[in-house]
Structure 1
Amino acid sequence: MELGQPTVTTHLRKLEDEFEITLFDRIKRPIQLTSEGSTLLELVTPVVQAVDTLKTQMDYSETRGSFVVGAYPDLVLHHLPPGIQAFSKQYPDVRIQLMARPYTPLMRLLKSGEVDLAFCAPPPADDPTLEFRELFRYDVVLMTP
């Protein structure tokens, strides 16, 4: 990405502040990821890889235009923005519209062509009209006081 160390540090501190977590144990030398840092890395890596794949595909097509990306609201709010920002820097003339929707409406929008690609659960096995690639598994827990 060709970013200087101070820039990377600033971005990481902002991320820690925004999520109110500590990503690195800075006391140990060399510094190490905390459990929150490892979790974030696991969640973000597939998104970054998907954006890289998208960038590669865009290199073979026009570098102008627009497309619509659909995803669950949580992904749109918390996980996609860093990848979208990186993509937008690389392709400033490509407009990306994000749509946050639950699964059923997202599938309907994808099948109708109103959404060009979607980050969501796999389609039913008996639906050959949609192709998917697993990017990551999403942990969901139940917590009580």
Structure 2
Amino acid sequence: MELRQLEYFIAVSEELHFTRAAEKLGISQPTLSQQIRALEDELDIPLFDRIGKKIAITEAGSILLEQSLQIVRNLQNVKDSIAELHNYKKGSFVVGALPSDLDYRISNLLIDYHKEFPKIWLKIVSSVEIAAQVLENEVDIGIGIMPFPDDRLVRIPLCREEYVLVVSERHAWAGRDSIGIEELRGLDTVMFPSGLIGRELVDDCCRKYGFTMNTIMETTSITSVIHLVKANIGATVQPLPLIRSLNDPALRTIRIADDPPTRNIGIIYRTDRFLGHAAKAFMQKAAEHFTAR
């Protein structure tokens, strides 16, 4: 069994089509089919069910795919580790971050990091499914709301943030300093859509008191939420540090005095993921950035 065969097998598993997989690999379709047959002969079991022009991965194929992906990841970790010996200030990695934090809170972190590591190629991906992206190896590091404990993930807490009610300067409650959580009952609000983790944190808190918010408009964009609030369409409930970072005089923040919703922000990455000096330095700067705020 050769690494090349495993790479061929992974490509066929992803495409579930020999011709497309061959084109992706840059080899001929007969060559690819021959290599997969050789792999099946060596293991003495079919890896794919061939149904006409369609194929489906078998149970044995699923087992091999899981192990093959791990082998490829381990090999990449070896390459990354050795590359660190050449020049730790070169390299690349991908970070996943919540859209709202990416828009308003992480820019200074990126600026500071680039000043120290100008040769690092850094990609920031906006996502509300950060844990899933980390587990699927779509990003190397995630910064966001801490997921439930998972043996596959390293979880590093950064900070705990309180949610507050946010209203326009023209809102009837603009002069208030605090409210009780039950006063949210019946209040017109503009929020992220139901199901998003930030929205669920707020909804869960309200459900404990036997009500749901009267959300009259939903949008996935924090910029849009803020514009609607400033237009006095409705209020919103958002993390206090996020609203403070906007520094918008047209907004008013009102503390929720009793049992406010909170979110725990942290860094996550796969336990089997190699992180070089540059990535570790980024995590250190992220910790300093969120602590300072």
Partner Cα distance (2:121, 2:160) in 1: 28
Aligned Cα root-mean-square deviation (Å): 2.1
Structure 2 residue aligned with 1:71:
97
- Choose the corresponding residue for 1:115, options 139, 144, 149: 139
- Choose the corresponding residue for 1:130, options 115, 131, 153: 153
Structure 2 residue aligned with 1:97:
123
Q: For the Cα contact (< 8 Å) 1:64–1:93, is it kept in 2?
A: yes
Structure 1 residue aligned with 2:276:
none
Structure 2 residue aligned with 1:6:
none
Amino acid at match of 1:129: R
Runs of 4+ in 1 over 3 A off after TM superposition: none
TM (norm. structure 2) is 0.27
Q: For the Cα contact (< 8 Å) 1:70–1:117, is it kept in 2?
A: yes
Deviation at 1:136, TM superposition (A): 1.1
Unaligned runs of 5+ in 1: 1-57
Partner Cα distance (2:100, 2:163) in 1: 12
Q: Secondary structure at the match of 2:142?
A: strand
Partner Cα distance (1:68, 1:142) in 2: 33
Deviation at 1:141, TM superposition (A): 1.5
- Percent identity over the alignment is 24
Q: For the Cα contact (< 8 Å) 1:123–1:130, is it kept in 2?
A: no
Amino acid at match of 1:101: S
Partner Cα distance (1:98, 1:74) in 2: 13
Unaligned runs of 5+ in 2: 1-83, 172-293
Partner Cα distance (2:166, 2:98) in 1: 21
Structure ID, larger Rg? 2
Deviation at 1:139, TM superposition (A): 2.3
Of Structure 1 and Structure 2, the greater strand share is in: 2
Amino acid at match of 1:118: G
Partner Cα distance (1:80, 1:143) in 2: 21
Cα deviation digits, residues 85-128 of structure 1 (max 9, x gap)? 111111111011111111xx221110111111111122212x11
Partner Cα distance (2:153, 2:134) in 1: 9
Q: Secondary structure at the match of 1:82?
A: helix
Q: Secondary structure at the match of 1:62?
A: coil
TM (norm. structure 1) is 0.52
Structure 1 residue aligned with 2:163:
140
Q: For the Cα contact (< 8 Å) 2:130–2:143, is it kept in 1?
A: no
